[in-house]
Amino acid sequence: MDKSQKHKCEACGKDIEQEVLIKNLNVCPYCGHHEYIGCRRRLDITVDEGSFKEMDSDMRSVDFLKFRDLKKYSQRLEEAREKTGLSEAIITGEAGIEGYGVAIGVMDFGFMGGSMGSVVGEKIKNLCNRSIKNDIPLIIFSSSGGARMQEGIISLMQMAKTVSSVGRVMACNIPYISVITNPTTGGVSASFSTIADIIIAEPGALFCFAGPRVVRQTMKKDIPDDFGLAERNLANGQVDMIVSRSDMKETLARLIRLLRG
């Protein structure tokens, strides 16, 4: 990557030097727009250096329905793996945040729109079990278009599965913090991401069940510009706080300190 390369902000359109953008955690220095970052980058800026120990890194989706739309599911998976260098739409593991041990999961919208299929569900379940086993807080960064259609009803069931799993963590009085990043919708917004002790959203993140296009279609009229945005969700009582990327790590550490009594 050429560090002097210019990058156009998606929100304000201003040119940002690549170096500045990266230093600024991919947040536009002019308008504060929080850009997409992949899950590896997210981990880098969130957990203590070198502390992340990945779980289930070799878990793979299978095309058990032989689902084929314009492409085969297996082909879409292959392409997503190649494009992102990830094995699935979530990466999970143990890590430290300012020294506190946590069970952390980070979704990646870049992998098939962060869609939740069997692997995302199972990885979250295993992460929850780890959280319970080691009595460490659970943190999940969500970023997803919803359930993975290519796994049919089984992807819908991951909603129930993940809710049950994080529910078990919460029943043990282990803190669970859900972080909403852009976008979090559908089957993910309507499952594990919305039943946490604390729900944090990144500024400007889209966070809704039905997306703006669908809602516009249903309503047959215009919807507000801030539809589904984190800020509107704050006013609507759906999130505890909006925390900018630069404050996220400190905030998580403080919340863990508080919730651990």
Partner 1 sequence: MDLKKIEKVSKIYLKELISSFAKIDKLKKLRFFSGIHFKDALSQFNKRIEKYSRATRESNKVWNKVELSRSGERPQCRDYIKGIFEDFTELSGDRLTGDDSSIVAGLGRIGGRTVAVVGHNKGRNTNERIKHNFGMGIPQGYRKSCRIMKLADKFGFPVITFIDTPGAYAGLEAEDNGQSAAISGSIRLMFELNVPVISVLIGEGGSGGALALAVGDEVAMLENSTYSVISPEACSAILWKDSTGKKLAARALRITSKDLLKLGAIERVIHEPIGGAQKDPGRMIKIVKKYINDALGRLGKYQPEQLRLKRAEKFENIGFFTYG
Chain residues 175-214 in contact with partner 1, contact rule CB under 8 A: 175, 186-187, 189-195, 197-199, 207-210, 214
Question: Rule CB under 8 A: is residue 6 a binding residue for partner 1?
Answer: no
Q: What gap in Å lies between CA 128 and CA 112, rounded to an integer?
A: 23
* Binding to partner 1 in span 65-124, by CB under 8 A: 65, 67-70, 117-119, 121-122
Contact 252, 97 (CB under 8 A): yes
* Binding to partner 1 in span 42-71, by CB under 8 A: 58-62, 64-65, 67-70
Residue in 227, 230, 248 with CA at minimum distance from that of residue 240: 230
User: Smaller CB distance to partner 1: residue 110 or 113?
Assistant: 113
* 118 binds, options Zn ion, partner 1, none, Cβ within 5 to 8 A by partner type: partner 1
User: Smaller CB distance to partner 1: residue 25 or 157?
Assistant: 157
Contact 94, 52 (CB under 8 A): yes
Contact 174, 214 (CB under 8 A): no
Q: How far is the CB of 182 from partner 1 (least distance, A)?
A: 15
Residues in the chain: 261
* 45 binds, options partner 1, Zn ion, none, Cβ within 5 to 8 A by partner type: none
Give the range of 3-11, 116-124, 139-147, 178-186 binding Zn ion by CB under 5 A. 3-11
Can you tell me which of 84, 143, 165, 181 binds partner 1, judged by CB under 8 A? 165
For residue 216, CA distances in Å to 13, 113, 143 come to 26, 21, 22
Give every CB contact of residue 54 below 8 A, 6+ residues apart in sequence: 91, 92, 93
Q: How far is the CB of 204 from Zn ion (least distance, A)?
A: 10
The pattern of x and - marking residues 23 through 42 that bind Zn ion according to CB under 5 A reads -----x-xx-x---------
Interstrand relation of 176-185 and 53-55 (parallel, antiparallel or unpaired): unpaired
Give the tokens for residue 254: 């403080």
The pattern of x and - marking residues 12 through 41 that bind partner 1 according to CB under 8 A reads ------------------------------
Can you tell me which of 131, 144, 155, 181 binds partner 1, judged by CB under 8 A? 155
Give the range of 12-20, 47-55, 93-101, 252-260 binding partner 1 by CB under 8 A. 252-260
Write the burial class of residue 132 (CB in 10 Å: 0-12 exposed, 13-18 middle, 19+ buried): middle
Give the tokens for residue 203: 């500024």
For the chain, the straight-line distance linking the first and the last C-alpha, in angstroms and rounded, comes to 44
Please count the residues of this chain forming the interface with partner 1, following the rule CB under 8 A. 79
Contact 113, 144 (CB under 8 A): yes
Interacting residues with Zn ion (CB under 5 A): 9, 11-12, 28, 30-31, 33
